[in-house]
């Protein structure tokens, strides 16, 4: 699932490559438009965005937002993409081979194509005149780089569950998913299944610092490894996520894995003590 670091780099690339381009046509492959697009304006995507200028690209949490200036109406439209588990964008030339499960192709005025690819067809593309219409958008919490230490502590107080689950709640802090929650908690030396109510003030401060440092470092690494191949998801640099059985980069103990609620959690039992969860 693309999270804040990947989507921030995708936003940067698209800002350079597609802003001020016009969408000349949209191709829907295998019914992709009907399956993936939620037209909250009651317009068909193809009709609404053909001829529109891409005015801006923004990111909010795990949404990527295209601001569009339509050719046939005065008010702006928004295309908000929630990629879910396997959604990706690809920048390509017309002659480039399509990736498997390419569902939508936006033909741009500079000759490039912006393709939406989704192996499990789980993503959602919302066409809206107002972003408040987009489900889950208005409930998003602050961005990790916009929250102060004091705000972070206050926002944590209502939550009582396991700290990994809290980190991945978009209404708490926007943009963190399963993978980067593992990395943040490893950096903070906190067991993922510790209850929030069991954390000391010093541990909460460590969590806040780790959140910001891990995400900033990841953006730099993703930027270097992804380049402009925005369909990629570079994660080989991660310390523990999907590294089950490998030595912990800090202490050398094998990385553990727990599978629960259709989600894998990786952590180091030596560096992140405090849980009795069985795992490998």
Which residues carry out catalysis? 2-3, 62, 263
Q: How far is CA 176 from CA 61, 89, 121, 196, in A?
A: 8, 19, 21, 17
Handedness of CA 119, 124, 127, 131 (dihedral sign): negative
Q: What distance in Å separates the CA atoms of residue 260 and residue 201, rounded to the nearest whole number?
A: 28
Q: For residues 265 and 244, is the Cβ–Cβ distance under 8 A?
A: no
Distance of CA 62 to the CA centre of its chain: 4
Distance CA 206, CA 221 (A): 22
What CA–CA distances, in Å, run from 76 to 48, 53, 73, 172, 273?
11, 10, 8, 29, 51
């Amino acid at each position: 699932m693309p999270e804040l670091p990947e989507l921030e780099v995708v936003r940067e690339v698209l800002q350079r490559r597609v802003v001020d381009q016009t969408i000349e046509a949209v191709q829907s492959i295998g019914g992709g438009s009907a399956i993936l697009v939620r037209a909250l304006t009651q317009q068909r995507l193809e009709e609404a965005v053909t001829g529109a200028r891409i005015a801006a690209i923004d990111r909010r949490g795990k949404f990527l937002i295209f601001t569009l200036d339509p050719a046939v109406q005065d008010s702006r439209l928004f295309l908000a993409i929630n990629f879910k588990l396997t959604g990706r964008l690809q920048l390509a030339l017309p002659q480039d081979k399509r990736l498997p499960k390419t569902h939508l192709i936006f033909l741009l005025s500079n000759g490039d194509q912006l393709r939406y690819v989704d192996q499990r067809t789980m993503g959602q593309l919302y066409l809206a005149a107002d972003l408040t219409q987009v489900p889950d958008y208005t409930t998003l919490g602050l961005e990790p780089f916009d929250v102060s230490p004091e705000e972070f502590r206050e926002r944590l107080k209502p939550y009582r569950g396991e700290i990994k689950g809290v980190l991945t709640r978009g209404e708490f802090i926007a943009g963190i998913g399963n993978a980067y929650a593992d990395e943040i908690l490893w950096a903070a030396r906190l067991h993922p299944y510790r209850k929030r109510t069991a954390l000391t003030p010093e541990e909460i401060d460590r969590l806040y610092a780790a959140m910001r440092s891990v995400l900033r470092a990841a953006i730099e690494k993703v930027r270097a490894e992804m380049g402009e191949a925005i369909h990629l998801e570079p994660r080989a640099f991660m310390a523990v996520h999907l590294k089950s059985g490998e030595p912990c980069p800090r202490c050398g103990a094998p990385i553990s894995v727990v599978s629960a609620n259709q989600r894998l959690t990786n952590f180091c039992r030596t560096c992140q003590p405090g849980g009795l969860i069985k795992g490998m």
